Amino acid sequence: MTRCGGGVSIAQHAMKHIPALLACLFVICDQSLAADASAPKLHRLDAQTAQGLQALFKFTGELLPLVSGHRGGPDKGFPENCIPTFERTLQRTFAMLEIDPRYTKDGAIVVFHDATLERTSTGKGKVTDFTLAELKQLRLKDTEGNVTEFQMPTLDESLEWARGKTVLVLDQKDVPVAVRVKKIEEHKAEGHAMLIVNTFKDAQACHAANPNVMMEVMIPNRAKAAEFDALGIPWRNVVAFVGHVPPEDKGLYELIHAKGAHCMIGTSRNLDRQFIRREIADLKLLETGYRAFLQRGADLIETDIPAHLGPMLYGTTPVPASKRKFFLAP
């Protein structure tokens, strides 16, 4: 038998240290469990791959219990375009999250809506006049103008955070299509990020740069649907944004559905404002308004109030069997 110094066998030496090793393991396990317990319980969307994301957004005629959080879904105490706000939204509902990339002075990309800092941060001046390090010294303001402890995130941080949790929808602002596509590629985020494109030309540029990247494309009428169809971009790459004032033309929704795509509307300029300003006290009446948009043919709602609207519309709605693998409940 192999022996250590002093004539003690390796086995005997190891036995002496087992209690300490076990104690160490218990501490590690306790710390791990504590970390898990403190982690927020999120409604997670996990498409994993580009093909998974396309399958998630393939129109099947089933109700998709999912909202899109405009600027992440800000609220009192929670600023727009902020990771803690993203997490708060996902604690309450399944949601994709629309965010706003902008350049800094030194070429980094932060997530911030306005070109200037005053409205939603403690800074003053243009975002592009400050370096990333300088912007990280600022603190973000909530929807009531109150200063919070939160910092503006970078696009890199946001893309990494979102993996396995949600789908980020990257608006354009001053970051062009090619750069946003490259960022998605750098983070291997084709399964959890997509682009808003402002023109069909941009849609073509996106598809040419990476045919796996999905897009949110403005298609407000049947003429535009035909024009888009003629481009040859597969409809599986598209969520069709049909407008902030949902079209009354049911034929538009039917056409887009026949192509296999979902229709998205925006309510930030109408019903959401009535909710936020309490212009309609009866929540049931407001809910009826949102449901009327869905009954008209819309499938997805981009909203300023995802943490409120998601549970209101879909609190008891089961995920369709064909999409269940992408939805991970808390």
Per-residue pLDDT, 38: 67
Handedness of CA 156, 194, 317, 327 (dihedral sign): negative
Burial of 96 (0-12, 13-18, 19+ CB in 10 A): buried
Per-residue pLDDT, 292: 95
Question: What confidence tens digit (pLDDT) does each residue in 293-302 have?
Answer: 999 999 999 9
Per-residue pLDDT, 245: 86
Per-residue pLDDT, 44: 98
How confident is the model over 190-216, as a mean pLDDT? 98
How confident is the model over 315-321, as a mean pLDDT? 94
Q: Following DSSP, what letter does each residue of 154-196 receive, concatenated? A: BHHHHHHHHTTT--EEE--TTS-HHHHHHHHHHTT-TTTEEEE
How confident is the model over 254-275, as a mean pLDDT? 96
Per-residue pLDDT, 198: 94
Question: What confidence tens digit (pLDDT) does each residue in 18-47 have?
Answer: 444 334 433 433 444 344 556 789 999 999
Q: Beta strand 101-103 with 109-111: parallel, antiparallel or unpaired? A: antiparallel
Handedness of CA 54, 217, 180, 164 (dihedral sign): negative
Burial of 38 (0-12, 13-18, 19+ CB in 10 A): exposed
How confident is the model over 95-112, as a mean pLDDT? 98
Give the rounded percent of residues in the chain with a pLDDT score beyond 70: 88
Question: What confidence tens digit (pLDDT) does each residue in 214-232 have?
Answer: 999 999 999 999 999 999 9
Q: How far apart are CA 90 and CA 311, in angstroms?
A: 11
Tokens 């087992």 belong to 18
The answer on pLDDT for 10 being more than 50 is no
Tokens 């004539």 belong to 7
DSSP class of residue 316? T
Across the chain, which distance is largest between two alpha carbons, in Å? Answer: 90
CATH superfamily of 44-328: Phosphatidylinositol (PI) phosphodiesterase (3.20.20.190)
CA-to-CA dists, residue 314 to 43, 92, 196, 244, 310, angstroms: 12, 11, 25, 21, 6
Q: What is the mean pLDDT of the chain?
A: 90
Neighbour tally for 303: CB within 10 Å: 26
Per-residue pLDDT, 37: 52
pTM summary value = 0.88
For 119, phi and psi rounded to 5 degrees? -65, -40
Per-residue pLDDT, 20: 46
Question: What confidence tens digit (pLDDT) does each residue in 45-102 have?
Answer: 999 999 999 999 999 999 999 999 999 999 999 999 999 999 999 999 999 999 999 9
How confident is the model over 253-263, as a mean pLDDT? 98
Q: How far apart are CA 218 and CA 238, in angstroms?
A: 10
Question: What confidence tens digit (pLDDT) does each residue in 156-193 have?
Answer: 999 999 999 999 999 999 999 999 999 999 999 999 99
Question: 257 with 263: CB under 8 angstroms?
Answer: yes
The answer on pLDDT for 3 being more than 50 is no
